[in-house]
Structure 1
Amino acid sequence: MKLISWNVNGLRAIMKKNFMEVFHELDADFFCLQETKLQEGQIALDLPGYHQYWNYAVKKGYSGTAIFAKEEALTVSYGMGIDEHDQEGRLITLEYPNFFLVTCYTPNSQSELKRLAYRLEWEKALENYLNELDKQKPVILCGDLNVAHEKIDLKNWKTNQKNAGFTIEERNAFSYLLDTGFTDTFRHFYPTKEGIYSWWSYRFNARKNNAGWRIDYFLTSRSLDSDLIDAKIHTEIFGSDHCPVELDLNM
């Protein structure tokens, strides 16, 4: 089974570039998107063989997630069931016989960390939500989680220790989630690999200089460790300030 996750930073914008080419080339069983930045009815995608699931933010042109799945889900949930956290279209959960698939676009703590307190509330709520799912069946979580976990996960860690995405609070929240029983699949296969990132700023020629961050993930319940085949980061694919990440597993 092949899964792809991609923060497209505006689906309508990337449709004018290479989205459909990448979509068909990768030919995933599940194709998960974050930051779609649209409302219902603003785009019509012809994706034969796929079921489409969309979660839109209340605020227009902001956030949003989607999943395109070859197999229809048993059940679908949008958000966590917590009104405070369900206004920005950041979470979709699909249930299948043997697992839950969750795509997530974690809130950014923003400049001067003005949204860090809310971000940490989100993190705790998400941790509780995922662990409740995991009590029922294994969980596959993917998306832009807006944190570089370790120093190895970004180019310039020394100058970013007090910036959104690399604060000790955000990194600890990620560690806590892993400690509850989840695997960072890329590090499972490549524990010491350096210089592989999934997001680059549009400023300062960051992508050209590979001054990036690894903030896009596939996390899986540890009960799935023996089913993991490979995890990939498609740094060769352009179109967004993020690149797609991939998980292959035997299910």
Structure 2
Amino acid sequence: MKFVSWNVNGLRACVNKGFMNYFNEMDADFFCLQETKLQEGQIHMELGEHYHQFWHYAEKKGYSGTAIFTKHKPLSVSRGLGEEDEDNEGRVITLEYEDFYLITVYTPNARRDLSRLDFRLAWEEMFRSYLTKLGEQKPVIVCGDLNVAHQEIDLKNAKSNRGNSGFTDEEREKMTRLLDAGFVDSFRYLYPDRTDAYSWWSFMPKIRERNIGWRIDYFLASASLAPSIVEAGIDSLVLGSDHCPVVLTLDMTKGQEA
């Protein structure tokens, strides 16, 4: 099965920059979006009758928002973490299947001045608890913009960015705790030492061309699914957003055999 995750930073703008070409080329089983920046009715996606569409809109116009397009009808669909503050921002969609849960997430940004760091850290606690409870029932696959570069290898200029939003010790520790709760970072599982592999770049001139980036978009999976991971990629040449898509390929029969 092929999974794609992409923070499109405004789906309408991304559609005008070739989104559908990439979507059709990938022909994914699951295509997950973050930061759609839409309200209901503001876009109509012609994806074909074999794709089901699930959306979670933020109450604030032009802000946040997530979506999942999938060929596989889920057993159930839920939005948010059951917490009022989070539900209003459209950050989480969960699809339940017979053998796993799939979650797309847009983790809150701490903001440049770190004014939202405390909110972010409290949200991370809720999110980890939510995933842990799901994982007690069946394996979990989590994808999205987690808004953190976990290790120094995950961004170009680690020393100068230490303490900045997305690379504070507190945010990195939350990521460590999430992985320690029974999840693997699929990309690092396959490529523990690969450098210069990034999924987000500033809009400042020549930054993306020089690959001065951060890896903040992930596919995490329950440790029990690790044997099922066939490939974990970063499509860094795909334009249309300040983020690029990340891709996961799973062979669930391997996981079952394990």
Q: Normalized against structure 1, the TM-score is what?
A: 0.99
Matched residue, 1:163: 164
* Structure 1 Cα separation of the partners of residues 122 and 207 of structure 2: 31
Matched residue, 1:2: 2
Shift of 1:204: 3.7
Matched residue, 2:175: 174
Q: Deviations over 1:143-181 (max 9, x none)?
A: 000000000000011111111000000000000000010
Q: Supply the AA of the counterpart residue of 1:39.
A: Q
Segments ≥4 residues shifted beyond 3 Å: none
* Structure 2 Cα separation of the partners of residues 183 and 172 of structure 1: 15
Matched residue, 1:85: 86
Q: Deviations over 1:63-87 (max 9, x none)?
A: 0000000011110000011112111
Matched residue, 1:64: 65
Equivalence map 1:210-249=2 (5 Å): 210-249=211-250
Matched residue, 1:23: 23
Shift of 1:206: 1.1
Q: Deviations over 1:209-241 (max 9, x none)?
A: 100000000000001011111100001111110
* Structure 2 Cα separation of the partners of residues 225 and 15 of structure 1: 33
Q: Deviations over 1:71-110 (max 9, x none)?
A: 1111000001111211100000000000000000000000
Shift of 1:38: 0.5
How many residue pairs are counted as aligned between the two chains? 251
Q: Supply the AA of the counterpart residue of 1:141.
A: V
What secondary structure, in the 3-state scheme, does the structure 2 residue paired with 1:104 have?
strand
Matched residue, 2:255: none
* Structure 2 Cα separation of the partners of residues 225 and 208 of structure 1: 33
Q: Supply the AA of the counterpart residue of 1:45.
A: M
Q: Deviations over 1:8-31 (max 9, x none)?
A: 000000111100000001110000
* Structure 1 Cα separation of the partners of residues 29 and 211 of structure 2: 29
Matched residue, 1:34: 34
Does structure 1 retain, via aligned residues, the 8 Å contact 2:17–2:239?
no
* Structure 1 Cα separation of the partners of residues 214 and 80 of structure 2: 26
Matched residue, 1:142: 143
Equivalence map 1:77-156=2 (5 Å): 77-156=78-157
* Structure 2 Cα separation of the partners of residues 202 and 84 of structure 1: 30
Shift of 1:39: 0.3
Q: Supply the AA of the counterpart residue of 1:9.
A: N
Q: Supply the AA of the counterpart residue of 1:6.
A: W
* Structure 1 Cα separation of the partners of residues 213 and 227 of structure 2: 30
Superposed CA RMSD: 0.6
